[in-house]
């Protein structure tokens, strides 16, 4: 597919949402490139306990086993024979992550620009994440978005976390928004899968995860960050479609 035809398909995939009502955001890897902090915490703490024969975990292992997944599933994957130990490990790891995040977390490129675009149109917005609530609220606060989000939905507080659609459906319910007039920003395979399963187009952020893996989850299109021209071409077309409807 050429760049121009990719751009056209990106635009048309959002125009059906006109008039746009709401935007839902994942947090980790979507609002901030936080995966390196998670990877560092996992790698150092697993090294301390001699996991994997004392060899440090690779980024590939991190992406396959950890990225975007709920902590219960991570605990089971890391400690299949001792779930209580796994749950305690991921709890301690999250505490280490919060220390790192408080000092090092930065917004993804262009986040402020897309935030203003959303605010200027009076759109509803919620954060929907598999992160523990303590992590989610810290990250949102550090990024200066505490007053931006109207709701924060935690996968572990739903019947099923991502990749199930429950968290995104709960997000729509919290905002009293329709899936037919809402889209999602996500960066992981499980997150994109959850948004698509909830019936919404998902704009995938290729922050860290391989593009071919993300495409398997069927996003509307992928962007590098919020400065990506592909995103703004699609939003411009959506604005035009919404204006036509209001005339």
Q: What is the DSSP string of the chain?
A: --HHHHHHHHHHHHHTTPSP-EEEE--BTTTB--HHHHHHHHHHHHHHTTGGGGPPPPHHHHHHHTTT--HHHHHHHH-TT-HHHHHHHHHHHHHHHHHHHHHH--BPTTHHHHHHHHHHTT-EEEEEESS-HHHHHHHHHHTT-TTT-SEEEEGGGSSS-TTSSHHHHHHHHHHT--GGGEEEEE-SHHHHHHHHHTT--EEEE-SSS-HHHHHHT--SEEESSTT-HHHHHHHHHHHHHHHHHH-
> 105-134 burial string, b = 16+ CB within 10 Å, else e?
bebbebbeebbebbeeeebbbbbbbbbbee
Query: One of 28, 73, 187, 228 is an active-site residue; which one?
Result: 28
Quick check: 109 and 50 in contact, CB under 8 A?
no
Same domain for 138 and 231?
Answer: yes
State the pLDDT at residue 209.
86
Domain boundary among 104, 127, 155: 104
Checking if the pLDDT of 247 tops 80, the result is no
Q: Is 16 exposed, middle or buried (0-12, 13-18, 19+ CB in 10 A)?
A: exposed
d(CA 101, CA 115): 21
Checking if the pLDDT of 243 tops 90, the result is no
State the pLDDT at residue 69.
81
Same domain for 71 and 113?
Answer: no
For the segment 173-228, what is each residue's pLDDT rounded down to a tens digit? 999 999 999 999 999 999 999 999 999 999 999 988 899 999 999 999 999 999 99
Same domain for 241 and 161?
Answer: yes
Query: One of 6, 26, 112, 225 is an active-site residue; which one?
Result: 26
Checking if the pLDDT of 64 tops 70, the result is yes
Span 123-137, average pLDDT:
96
- Indicate the angle between helix axes 35-48 and 83-104, nearest 10 degrees: 130
Same domain for 91 and 71?
Answer: yes
Q: Is 166 tagged catalytic?
A: no
Domain boundary among 60, 86, 104: 104
Number of structural domains found in the chain: 2
Same domain for 15 and 45?
Answer: no
Checking if the pLDDT of 112 tops 70, the result is yes
The parent domain of residue 220 ranges over: 3-33+107-246
Span 115-126, average pLDDT:
98
State the pLDDT at residue 3.
41
Confidence category of residue 244, pLDDT binned at 50, 70, 90: confident
For the segment 6-62, what is each residue's pLDDT rounded down to a tens digit? 444 454 579 999 999 999 999 999 999 998 999 999 999 999 999 989 999 999 999
State the pLDDT at residue 7.
45
- Which position has the higher pLDDT, 139 or 35? 139
Structure tokens at 6: 């990719």
Q: How far is CA 211 from CA 70, 160, 162, 232, in A?
A: 21, 26, 19, 20
Checking if the pLDDT of 76 tops 60, the result is yes
Same domain for 119 and 217?
Answer: yes
Tell which residue, 216, 222, 246, 244, has the closest CA to residue 234.
Answer: 222
Domain boundary among 47, 77, 104: 104
Chain center to CA of 4: 26
Averaged confidence pLDDT in the chain: 92
Q: Is 147 tagged catalytic?
A: no
- Which position has the higher pLDDT, 1 or 146? 146
Same domain for 56 and 178?
Answer: no
């Amino acid at each position: 597919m050429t760049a121009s035809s990719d751009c056209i398909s990106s635009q048309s995939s959002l125009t059906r949402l006109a008039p746009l009502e709401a935007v839902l955001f994942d947090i980790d890897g979507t609002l901030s490139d936080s995966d390196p902090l998670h990877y560092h915490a996992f790698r150092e703490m697993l090294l301390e306990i001699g996991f994997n024969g004392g060899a440090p975990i690779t980024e590939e292992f991190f992406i396959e086993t950890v990225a975007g997944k709920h902590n219960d599933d991570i605990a089971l994957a890391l400690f299949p024979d001792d779930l209580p130990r796994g749950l305690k490990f991921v709890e301690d790891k999250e505490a280490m992550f919060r220390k790192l995040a408080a000092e090092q977390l930065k917004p993804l490129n262009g986040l402020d620009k897309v935030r203003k675009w959303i605010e200027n149109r009076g759109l509803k917005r919620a954060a929907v994440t598999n992160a523990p609530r303590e992590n989610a609220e810290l990250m949102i606060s550090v990024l200066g978005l505490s007053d931006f989000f109207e709701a924060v939905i935690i996968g572990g507080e739903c019947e099923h976390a991502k990749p199930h659609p429950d968290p995104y459906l709960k997000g729509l319910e919290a905002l009293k928004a329709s899936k037919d007039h809402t889209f999602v920003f996500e960066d992981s395979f499980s997150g994109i899968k959850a948004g698509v399963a909830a019936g919404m187009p998902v704009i995938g952020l290729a922050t860290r995860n391989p593009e071919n893996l993300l495409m398997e989850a069927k996003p509307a299109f992928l962007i590098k960050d919020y400065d990506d021209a592909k995103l703004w071409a699609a939003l411009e077309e959506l604005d035009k479609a919404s204006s036509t409807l209001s005339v």
